[in-house]
Amino acid sequence: MPRAVYVLALGIFAMVTSEFVVAGLMPQMAEGLDATIPEIGYLITAFAAAMALGGPFLTVALLKMRQKSALILLFGIFLVGNVLAALAPDYRTMLVARVLTGIASQAFFGVSISLASRITRPEVRGRAVAVALNGLMLGTLLGLPLSTVIGEHLGWRAAFWAITALTVLAALATLAGVPGADGASEEGGGLREELGAFRDPRLWLTLTTSTFVIGATFSAFSYLNPILTEITGFSTGTVPLLLIAYGAATVVGNTVVGRLADRRALPVLVVGLVLNLAFLVGFALLAQLAVPAVVLMMGIGLVGVTMNPALVTRVQRTGNARPLVNTVHSSFITLGIIIATSVGGSAIDAFGLRAPLWIGAGLAALGLGTLLPDVLRRRTEARTATAAAAAVVVAPAAEAAEAAARATASR
């Protein structure tokens, strides 16, 4: 695996840590910015919305740049946003900072995944994407708890300064460890060429699958803390340990899926969604029992967001591996997070804390529905190939029989 892929994972880790930091420091930020907890929650929504809507436009603006240069520029924009967040004197400034970092983060994901695919051999691209996306998994496993600890002991601004330092480190590593000019393979292509992929209806269906897969997972993940404390009965001090275990499960699952994605992307997604559906339903029914709740939570970690390498592989094969397709794909993933958190939050008010788990199960079922056309097409192709192979075998036998019959008749 090229060293550059691991460097890209470090950059993604910095971006994801910044995305999650607000969730761990809501009370401190509310006090420091003279805002309410719901207003601080809107900063998370603003970041996600900026990712989903702004990222593709920024990617289009960078299409003519070499991908390494684009990454350095995106690091610069992201760095400005984090410094602005660390210095923010009021809520409005913080909101601007979150929008800025959200847009840069989404474009960075798209360019990074495209570059990881381009600098590796076709037969290991799924594994390369999985390695790069381990930055996302480690952001959940380490980034969130570490930034929360820093914020609790040194103040919430210190957490943003720490992310700023991490961003500088990742940018320097990118300068040193990511190849520069790499011929035509590093170019993103013109806008017309990039947009051409979106004329295929199958690509839109494939992108929708990603929305449902990630939405199903985040319906549970976004509300694990209150579910585990208020329904299961764990103490607030135990929940961070459980979330670390959940993060470890995502790293394991991501590694396994990455090894299978190149050859079995569709079967992996089908099995993953079926298991996730079962885990979500089980969690909804058994959340009051400690052991089953933890086991089912870990199951969601293993087969939830870890489907990303298979999702990326499927999208790239349906469309292409260029930056715009990957960035739009990230936007569809972010859309799943927005749907899960917004609908889940509203459902809690009406139906209680188990509601997001049922919503997640529904999204998983919809995700399976979007896979059905591909499954049926694969079966049809397999039957056609079997019939063709049988015809190849039968034809010589028939010719031999006909020749024997002619020989007998001539006697």
Structural domains present in the chain: 1-178 (1.20.1250.20), 201-411 (1.20.1250.20)
- Buried-exposed string 387-404: b where 16+ CB fall within 10 A, e elsewhere: eeeeeeeeeeeeeeeeee
pLDDT of residue 4: 87
Residue 36: count of CB within 10 angstroms of its CB = 12
Residue stretches of the chain with pLDDT short of 70: 180-190, 385-411
pLDDT of residue 326: 83
**Phi/psi at 64 (nearest 5 deg)?**
-80, -10
pLDDT of residue 183: 37
What six digits make up the tokens of 352?
């209680």
pLDDT of residue 182: 45
pLDDT of residue 408: 61
Spell out the alpha helix ranges (H) of 33-90.
37-61, 67-87
- What is the chain's percent helix, strand, coil content, to nearest 5? 85, 0, 15
What six digits make up the tokens of 395?
């034809």
Short-list 52, 67, 59, CA closest to 331: 52
pLDDT of residue 186: 43
Mean pLDDT of the chain: 85
Q: Are 212 and 336 in contact (CB under 8 A)?
A: yes
Short-list 59, 308, 315, 74, CA closest to 189: 59
Distance CA 261, CA 313 (A): 7
Distance CA 117, CA 333 (A): 19
State CA 1 to chain mean position distance: 21
What six digits make up the tokens of 276?
């996730």
pLDDT of residue 372: 92
Amino acid at 119: I
Q: Ramachandran region of residue 233, left (φ > 0), alpha (ψ -120 to 50) or beta?
A: left
What six digits make up the tokens of 265?
């992307």
Distance CA 198, CA 131 (A): 27
Bridge partners of residue 182, in order along the sequence = 184
Q: Tell me 155's DSSP state.
A: -
Q: What is the CA radius of gyration of the chain?
A: 24
Max Cα-Cα span within the chain: 107
pLDDT of residue 184: 36
Bridge partners of residue 184, in order along the sequence = 182
pLDDT of residue 63: 78
Q: Please, which residues have CB within 8 angstroms of residue 124's CB and are 6 or more apart in sequence?
A: 1, 262
